């Protein structure tokens, strides 16, 4: 329609509005067990506080993403120019593609882990966690192979044949950025797991470690010594730092889960053993 950027903005607004009305209509038509009553639309301080605490990691992560984007763009322009910015745009578009799968797995894990953790069915929690790890690891490993073997084809999906300057640095850049792709899904699942089990501060700490403690200093320091390569390498370097701390919390959590599962099975065995005969 020739609206340019304005058209893209309107398309986004219309898309979100349609989604909101579609979800709302499901409840208003009485198909849900949960009934919407406007008389219940009241703020309860206890619930609001819990919601804010549980949602704080996601809020802070989105806020940090804006700061990161600004730092990324400044460093890319300074050490690589417009071509580097365009290259990162393609890389982030591809990043969005695989990240949607990981986020989808995480959201699918949420009700299973949250419900069973609250019901003290810790064996199911463990199975759900392992299953999520397996799925995202397989997906990320497959994409890692694609990135390392066919980087040129990824860029050809996003740019025209005339953008030869991007093709000169893009394929190597995307290989460098995603050199540790198989472990990134694990980091996301772990951070979300602690949020889903009522420990938002642990989730927030793991998020801040990668996005702030390791990534931002790497972005500011590495390019001074190795130029534009420092921007590309800052991402996998942050992944390594975050992995070390995530493994610590994960191993500690596994030990706790093993104890809880053993106690759960002992109680179930005792209940069967001392159950009155029919």
Residue among 86, 219, 87, 91 nearest 143 (CA): 91
Question: What are the structural domain ranges in the chain?
Answer: 56-273
Classify 81 in phi/psi space as left (phi over 0), alpha (psi -120 to 50) or beta.
left
pLDDT, tens digit (0-9, with 9 covering 90-100), for 33-67: 777 777 777 777 777 787 777 677 677 777 887 88
Supply 196's token pair: 């889903």
pLDDT, tens digit (0-9, with 9 covering 90-100), for 161-205: 656 788 889 899 999 999 999 988 888 899 889 888 888 788 888
CA distance 177 to 91: 8
The set of residues, in sequence order, having a beta carbon less than 8 Å from that of 77 and lying 6+ positions away, is: 84, 85
pLDDT, tens digit (0-9, with 9 covering 90-100), for 227-273: 999 999 999 999 999 999 999 999 999 998 888 888 887 777 766 65
pTM of the model: 0.75
């Amino acid at each position: 329609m020739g609206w340019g950027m304005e058209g893209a903005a309107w398309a986004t607004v219309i898309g979100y509005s349609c989604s909101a009305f579609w979800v709302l209509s499901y409840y208003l038509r009485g198909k849900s067990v949960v009934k919407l009553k406007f008389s219940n639309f009241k703020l309860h301080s206890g619930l609001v506080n819990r919601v804010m605490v549980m949602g704080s990691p996601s809020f802070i992560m989105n806020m940090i993403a804006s700061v990161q984007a600004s730092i990324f763009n400044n460093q890319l322009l300074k050490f690589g120019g417009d071509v580097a910015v365009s290259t990162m745009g393609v890389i982030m578009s591809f990043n969005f593609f695989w990240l949607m799968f990981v986020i989808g797995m995480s959201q699918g894990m949420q009700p299973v882990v949250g419900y069973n953790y609250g019901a003290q069915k810790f064996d199911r929690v463990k199975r759900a966690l392992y299953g999520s790890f397996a799925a995202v690891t397989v997906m990320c490993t497959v994409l890692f192979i694609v990135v390392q073997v066919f980087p040129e084809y990824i860029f050809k999906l996003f740019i025209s044949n005339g953008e030869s300057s991007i093709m000169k640095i893009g394929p190597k850049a995307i290989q460098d950025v995603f050199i540790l792709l198989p472990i990134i899904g694990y980091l996301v699942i772990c951070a979300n797991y602690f949020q889903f089990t009522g420990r938002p501060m642990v989730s927030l700490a793991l998020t801040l470690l990668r996005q702030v403690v390791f990534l931002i200093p790497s972005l500011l320091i590495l390019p001074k010594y190795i130029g534009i390569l420092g921007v590309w390498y800052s991402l996998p370097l942050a992944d390594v730092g975050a992995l070390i701390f995530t493994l610590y919390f994960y191993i500690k959590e596994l030990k706790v889960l093993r104890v809880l599962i053993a106690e759960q099975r002992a109680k179930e065995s005792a209940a069967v053993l001392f159950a009155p005969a029919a």
